[in-house]
Structure 1
């Protein structure tokens, strides 16, 4: 068996469905970033443990969780509130940890948006680290989100998990990505000043994760990024095959890129002190490159 962590912040819309999907495990822990809505009240209605910790950043929150919140099993799985565990995925995870060949495993997400699976423009299969030995992984910050550091080898799980993005409405998505864009702008300036494009990983990377991250670093240096991102996602990745939901998704991602560029310009030309990286609390995922 493995334990399941659920990360939350103001997730009253999604938390019940997430917990119910996670109860396949006998050890579920809700790690909450001091929610101000009904998230905790709803979670208390289920046989789960609840801990709260003030949010600093995505990487620090996850690392604190792994180091400070004890669980019943050596293997853990991380869920965010708008994600779901499935019986098929749960069984594959159980099978893997019986005779593990690696210390951590990536799982591909299926982005559900406007009631449809965005199969093409989300770069499916797009992998996230989810299942791992608790003592082998910690996290650092990157832009608005986090990146894992793994002391061991990694593998890939065949089953996928649904990610119900934008389930709280378009206004929430815009508000959330307005916050995210500030941290992405800070990371963009840092990467342009100190980073480089990993060309070998871009073309010859051993995994989707390695190639995607190299593509992200390249995209920071391209002119007309919002337009390029829309063309890339809608035409080259086949977002047009995802119908109206796919068109809307691609437009929103291009808009997000434009917000980042505006924040970069603002930080370079206006006397505004940007917040520290990871300042705003939110555990919701986005679909950046």
Structure 2
């Protein structure tokens, strides 16, 4: 068994959590669930999963904590749940490991020695049952596994990444999958919520003119640094509304998003055009009225 604790944040994840936990194939010592007071059967499911895991020498510990934002919640999970394994991993409830990544973690992680303190993995997105392979969406490289106490989630409202405090990283070869089983109504509600967070995050950036830990010494992924630099230094310099149109053309036609079929057409339009246009519309509204976006609570959908 790998000396690893997996930290997962939940809010109404009864439909996703079991497949996430089971995808680890029993190789993990401990799962930590930090729940923001779910109203579905998430807590009851965790009790069942804990009993099942104990039978194979693992365990699942369930905590509840009031939601402020993702970074605060995740960092609370890192510091307040007694993690004492050598390694820690960040997972979302709608993600799961492919078998190749399970084998890679099982065979390699315990063998890594300092200064290697972080592991970057590849993530593939499944949308409406289809792998979104084009449009610049794959592969997405993420720092997800790190030596315990050597990383924290950067304190951002939106697009927060894990930041390694010291040491170096290596890449594993195999993928984890983002495969949410909830419907399109939930997806659009979530992205409406995201759009409020993104407007507030941009307002904070414009007021401070200071970018954070991706550029100030913390180790994450080069892909994350590049994307943020392009977004803040390029995309947001373009005219509102037009930039959503340009971005969709880039994703769907230039980066071949049309090859992802009907599901890809829906995804790229909603994520690259509708969502980005909605962010611009809310930015415009805030500027016209001279207001700040309110701090967001947890997702109610």
Task: Kindly state the Cα deviation for residue 194 of structure 1 after the two structures are TM-superposed.
Answer: 4.4
Aligned to 1:4: 6
Task: Kindly state the Cα deviation for residue 273 of structure 1 after the two structures are TM-superposed.
Answer: 5.2
Q: Say whether 1:183 aligns with 2:197.
A: yes
Deviations 1:115-147 (A, max 9, x none): 110011243111122100121111223343423
Q: TM-score of the superposition, structure 2-length normalised?
A: 0.84
- The one of 138, 141, 144 equivalent to 1:124 is 138
Q: Say whether 1:91 aligns with 2:103.
A: yes
Aligned mates of 2:294, 2:27 — CA distance in 1: 40
- The one of 63, 70, 78 equivalent to 1:58 is 70
Listed as ranges, the matches of 1:61-72 within 5 Å are 61-72=73-84
DSSP-derived class of the 2:97 partner? coil
- The one of 115, 120, 133 equivalent to 2:147 is 133
**Structure 1, unaligned stretches of length 5 or more?**
285-289
Q: Say whether 1:281 aligns with 2:285.
A: no
Aligned to 2:163: 149
- The one of 186, 209, 215 equivalent to 2:224 is 209
Aligned to 2:56: none
Aligned to 1:159: 174
Aligned to 1:113: 127
Aligned mates of 2:223, 2:161 — CA distance in 1: 15
- The one of 215, 225, 238 equivalent to 1:222 is 238
Q: TM-score of the superposition, structure 1-length normalised?
A: 0.87
- The one of 43, 47, 60 equivalent to 2:46 is 43
Aligned mates of 2:252, 2:155 — CA distance in 1: 29
In structure 2, relative to structure 1, the CA distance for the partners of 1:12 and 1:250 (3 Å cut) is: same
Aligned mates of 1:228, 1:141 — CA distance in 2: 30
Task: Kindly state the Cα deviation for residue 280 of structure 1 after the two structures are TM-superposed.
Answer: 2.2
In structure 2, relative to structure 1, the CA distance for the partners of 1:66 and 1:196 (3 Å cut) is: closer
- The one of 19, 24, 29 equivalent to 1:26 is 29
Aligned mates of 2:133, 2:117 — CA distance in 1: 29
> Which runs of structure 1 show a deviation greater than 6 angstroms over 4 or more consecutive aligned residues?
none
Quick check: 1:111–1:122 contact (8 Å CA) kept in 2? Answer: no
Aligned mates of 2:247, 2:165 — CA distance in 1: 34
Aligned to 2:16: 14
Does 18-27 or 79-88 show the bigger shift? 18-27
Aligned to 1:287: none
DSSP-derived class of the 1:73 partner? coil
DSSP-derived class of the 1:146 partner? coil
Aligned mates of 1:97, 1:181 — CA distance in 2: 40
In structure 2, relative to structure 1, the CA distance for the partners of 1:38 and 1:269 (3 Å cut) is: same
Quick check: 1:24–1:87 contact (8 Å CA) kept in 2? Answer: no
Aligned mates of 1:191, 1:271 — CA distance in 2: 16
Aligned to 2:254: 236
Quick check: 1:10–1:38 contact (8 Å CA) kept in 2? Answer: yes
Task: Kindly state the Cα deviation for residue 209 of structure 1 after the two structures are TM-superposed.
Answer: 2.3
**Structure 2, unaligned stretches of length 5 or more?**
51-59, 216-220
In structure 2, relative to structure 1, the CA distance for the partners of 1:4 and 1:136 (3 Å cut) is: same
